[in-house]
Structure 1
């Protein structure tokens, strides 16, 4: 009677090679060890660093920009990684990662809202400048010391105007290329209560660096100014939405 054929060769073909499995595990471990948490809290220890998904990266960039205008632990992290605001997911740094605990705390909406409320309560903060002394300053010149918000612009008191600079880029001068020539983009002044589409765009983007100054206020009376190119780029998504609706 013939001996039964051995199936060991067939089983070996499908059984994973222990050495290959070990190499894959080691490779993955090495890859993760080269990453670091982009919002690390000192209190978080022995937690695995995870890779960003596009959704998480976009959320991180959005809240990173918000923290830049606030105060506290999140502000310090945002200052360290502020360059990431302009980096799309396709170009994400190779060492970018996060701890789950750090990520949850950094994007915590309650913490962000609380920090934003503290910013708007400037007059009650220790060391805040006397608003009465600010009101005596001439609006035709830019004083060296002036009550400021943490958004880069002085807070306008009732009856006063914002400084002569772009409320979007926070700069006075901006140069653009027109027909291969470098030209200065002059500041335009708001001609409507909500500065055209500016307030709507800022509300959708939750851009408190702008809303702090213009929300529910008369942009004409405040003499809100912006560069034409800044305004166009900032409100472009609203213009596109309107065009699609008309089609």
Structure 2
């Protein structure tokens, strides 16, 4: 039984040709690359979606009119778009120059060479042919994350330095075969996959180097992105955390001692260090704006003055409340009666001053006069108030409800 299928149509239809007739497809990878370049410059979603799901080294089955392709890839239009894109990028660089810059070099993008190939050996031929393998640009965040993770597993210092920049934002390039080979977990040495096995001296040095590279990435990602002042001891703690994850239980004193020197060698003038009033080293990036520091300092002074004012106000309130409670207790008329007589029990002699009980209710519940206090709260207020009256009056006054229990009780045998 015959099945109906949707006829192919021109994916970049920009002419008056019939949508489904006289269609062509990319004849080779170079032809597809030119089309894809135009799609990226023009932000052509259909083609970009096709490229996103494309397997390595394959040419998609897209169709188009030759006239549409000619108009779509017109060199003059593409050059104008590139110029506009370059101008926008330069404006973006100017804006970024006013903000913290996390990239360690002066360039905002990578050179168009394979990041995996050894330096100076960037030309690579397709296996079994004399055709050079084309470079592809890193466009997916998952590829960035994959390379970063494998570099950490391999403890590859060169690639770790590369991935300290975001590969997508910095427009990294690589050969697909190099990417596949580098991210193949089977090629990772077993020694690096198991860093938690009994570390010897060589393992310690390896773990220290690896942890320092991660610390450098942390500084670029955190300290340069959000400029602030941190203690060198905090960075030492971060380094120790990374080394612990590699199986090193205790850091050597030399590691802590030489951290400052290594940071200065790694970052140079990009990172400043200065001692505080207690001799502790403070670290801050050169992107920390002095005007921001001045504003922050002024705000801290205001907050400190406000706290001092609040402290003074609280002290005055406490002093006034204490004097008032003391006066209330001293002015009470229920003097201590002894010997105790049942006829002495009445409401006036068994209650503490109202101010004292209100203070205790507020202290325990946050309410001066709670409507339905719990039995436990009521018992605590009664007990505390009686003790306060006894202590403030130096024993001359005491609510009688507590004294008979205290003086008539006999120890159990």
Normalising by structure 2, report the TM-score: 0.25
Q: Which has the larger radius of gyration?
A: 2
- Larger helix percent: 2
